[in-house]
Amino acid sequence: MSYLTVAPELMAAATEDLVGIGSAVDAANAAAAPATTELLAAAGDEVSIRIAALFSWHGQQYQAISAQAVNFHQHFVQTLNTGTGSYLAAEAFNAEQNLLNLVNAPAEALLGRPIIGDGANATTPGGAGGDGGLLFGNGGNGAAGSAGQAGGAGGSGGWLFGKGGAGGVGGVGIRGGGDLRGEQLRNRRRRRCGQRSFRAPHRFPSAIGIANPCCSSIGNTPLNVTKSNTRICPSPLCAD
């Protein structure tokens, strides 16, 4: 991979030169336009008129192409100027970053925090945000917690200038063990009700005027259910 070395001051000088060239071309096109786009016929005959019209048409086409070239030139100059500004900003940022690293490295090695700079945001669930610089800098934001986990704490801000990071949002709550135990007991009662063997005539008499839930649908006749002939009872009365 080849490396590119850029001199921003040379790029800025080239941009100024291109702007000057564009201005000179624009002035030349404007001066040539009347003499090339509106030719007068040499005589009143039809041939002279047609020749003048032909040369005028060529002059108009030249002006149209020149206008397109001017637009391209302006776009090129603008792109070059933007690139020059980007390189200058990158150079300034690198110089500033090197200076910050020179100042922060001893403090971070000794105290665990830089002098200047913002703390990093947490990325792991429930993680705490990084602390900002001791003097200047904002604390990083804490990460949101996973299910049943508290959100992470925000990092501390600088002592002189800076604010602490925002804490992470807590995770979704999980149902407690007591509710789960109760649900298990209810399921066990349902299974006992469904699997119990019973004798319908002795347990559910129908003479008291209440329909026997374990009777057949014809004449309220009790079902003779024995242990050898187990039937699932839908009634809650079968539960112990």
Q: Model's pTM, two decimal places?
A: 0.42
Structural domain for 134, as ranges:
114-142+154-164
pLDDT digits (tens, 9 = 90+) for 12-65: 888 889 999 999 989 988 888 888 888 888 888 888 889 989 999 999 999 999
List the one residue out of 188, 205, 168, 178 whose CA is nearest residue 239. Answer: 188
CATH number of the domain residue 33 falls in: 1.10.287.850
In this structure, are 103 and 123 located in the same domain?
A: no
> Sign of the CA dihedral 51, 52, 53, 58?
positive
CA angle 225, 228, 232 (to 5 degrees): 55
In this structure, are 91 and 119 located in the same domain?
A: no
In this structure, are 97 and 128 located in the same domain?
A: no
- Residue 178's Cα: distance from chain center in Å? 40
List the one residue out of 77, 75, 90, 65 whose CA is nearest residue 5. Answer: 90
- What would the 3-class secondary structure string for 112-170 be? CCCCECCCCCCCCCCCCCCCCCCCECCCCCCCCCCCCCCCCCCCCCCCCECCCCCCCCC
List the one residue out of 142, 153, 149 whose CA is nearest residue 172. Answer: 149
Q: For residue 85, what are its two tokens?
A: 């500004």
Is the residue at 70 inside a domain? yes
Number of domains in the chain: 3
pLDDT digits (tens, 9 = 90+) for 172-227: 766 655 555 666 666 676 666 555 444 444 444 444 444 444 444 444 444 444 44
